[in-house]
Amino acid sequence: MPHSLSPDSSNAAVKDEQPDGEPAIPTPVAPADTAAAMSDDDVDIDMNEAEAPPAGQAEEAKKEVKLDELFADDDSDDEFPSSAPVKREGVSSPVRAASPSNIPASDPEVMRSFYQRLFPWRQLFQWLNHSPMPTNDFGNREFAFTLQNDAYLRYQSFATADLLRKDVLRLMPSRFEIGPVYSTNPRDRKTLRNSSAFKPLSKELCFDIDLTDYDDIRTCCDKATICNKCWQFMTMAIKVVDVALRDDFGFNHIMWVYSGRRGAHAWVCDKKARSMDDQKRRAIANYLEVIKGGSQSGKKVNVKRPLHPHLSRSLDILKTHFQEDVLAEQDPWATDEQAQKLLQLLPDRTLNESLRRKWEAAPGRSSISKWADIDAVAKTGASKHLDAKALLEAKQDIVLEYTYPRLDIEVSKKLNHLLKSPFVVHPGTGRVCVPIDTKALEDFDPLGVPTVQSLLAEIDSWKGGEDGEEDDKSKATIADWEKTSLKPYVEQFRSFVSALIKDEGIAKVKREREEDSMDF
């Protein structure tokens, strides 16, 4: 899976700032073209690839920010109220003209309705800001917009969530990415006398896993197509990576997000993770990398013995998945060609020949049976020089090759990578990039994730409480996302953010006390 997007290698057009400070906004293309252009859902952006100058709204941001007005109630979502009570003269609802389910997800009016009515702006702000009140963690954070015609705007920044929301509604990007916190406001970078003073300071440690990297071992689907069978590879990957990050590195605040089509992203949000330099990020990425080599390479797992505790733990997690989700569901060695690949991973030629003859004599033998045949034939003494230890290690390597996470580690190595924001809509599938509950991984259904069209239809059909009776005052206080199947995902995100902010506050108080004690 590609891990960067460059204007030189795609149709993206990076736009420069105009003399009046406003970016040049190209005419949007038709929705169908947009969907095609954005079919690669999991492309994240390397900040070294391209640059789009600022949108020139720094002064506007300064004028509009009134902290006492914007954050009078830290725990309220009234800053971005439900659209239900809003009345606009002469303006009709964009989703009333036709059934939302019949409108493409990439349609600008569908996206406008989503960003106006459903996107959790306040929670996104608090997540990236690490506080209910504005700080540089949000104000100096880079955002990048991919516009409807694939033009790309870099180095956007905003003092508040409302300013970000307004710019998204003005530009109507098909998606937006999140980058690092910089040493100064990204919009002001060209005003610095010393350009080296503009540098990234912190960003979440991120991981990207894409099912296209499993195409050589999944038999049910390939490329952008997925099903619940091959999604189990993602379930395995999340289990292995999540426990390693928590147990081996001590991270606590890890959020997994569905990419909208065929992948998942991990955001490690602990302060110590955000502040790591590239060297430390590379070390963690290399620690977790086991599968090496492309789809045409031979043996992809070559690990030292005795196995590292992380790998031993991973094998314990993956053994059941290997039997049930790989051998039974994927049947990866059903054909003669596939079986030959298995034989190439075994260490003894004589054993291999015995197995080949057995399988040729019984065509149609399942992968479960072929896997069992390895030990059965080995015990017959077919090979006098068989090394039992080498065979065991080879079988362990095969289990890892067919189950261990296949990470795009380049995403994790650099502080200055950008990654697609949670809760944006995939323009090809219409699915929202929702958080994944790691406590209920087996229950997550990527094909059942809410689509933007279904969510807008749910708002239109909502009638109140269980009995359908709600007074006007009650309806006015209910946010639109609470009326839809997006609700549990937003609530999960809000709980995650609350726990993160709480720990940040405790750590801050502890640091202040330590600093005070040093004064004496």
Closest CA to 294 of 406, 379, 381, 389: 406
Q: Judge whether 129 and 155 are in contact, CB under 8 Å.
A: no
**208 part of the active site:** yes
The sheet carrying 435-436 orders its strands as 205-210, 263-268, 254-258, 435-436
State the alpha helices, DSSP H only, in 383-465: 388-403, 410-413, 452-461
Exactly one of 208, 270, 325, 480 is catalytic; name it.
208
Reduce the DSSP state of residue 296 to 3 states and report it.
coil
Helix (H) or strand (E) run with residue 154 in it: strand 151-156
Q: Which of 17, 49, 210, 213 is catalytic?
A: 210
CB 173 within 8 Å of CB 115: no
Q: How many Å apart are CA 104 and CA 429, to the nearest integer?
A: 9
- Alpha-helical (H) ranges within 289-379 are 309-321, 336-344, 349-361, 367-379
Number of Cβ within 10 Å of residue 239's Cβ equals 18
**210 tagged catalytic:** yes
DSSP H or E stretch at residue 506:
helix 487-518
In angstroms, the Cα distances linking 56 to 22, 136, 429, 492 are 6, 18, 33, 35
CA distance 76 to 502: 17
Q: Using CA atoms, how far apart are residues 460 and 469, in angstroms rounded to an integer?
A: 15
CA dihedral 171, 175, 180, 182 (to 10 degrees): -10
Torsions phi, psi for 241 (to 5 deg): -70, -40
Instruction: Look at phi and psi of residue 499 and say left if phi exceeds 0, alpha if psi is from -120 to 50, else beta.
Output: alpha
- The set of residues, in sequence order, having a beta carbon less than 8 Å from that of 355 and lying 6+ positions away, is 343, 346, 370, 373, 374, 377
Report, as residue numbers or ranges, the catalytic residues: 142, 208, 210
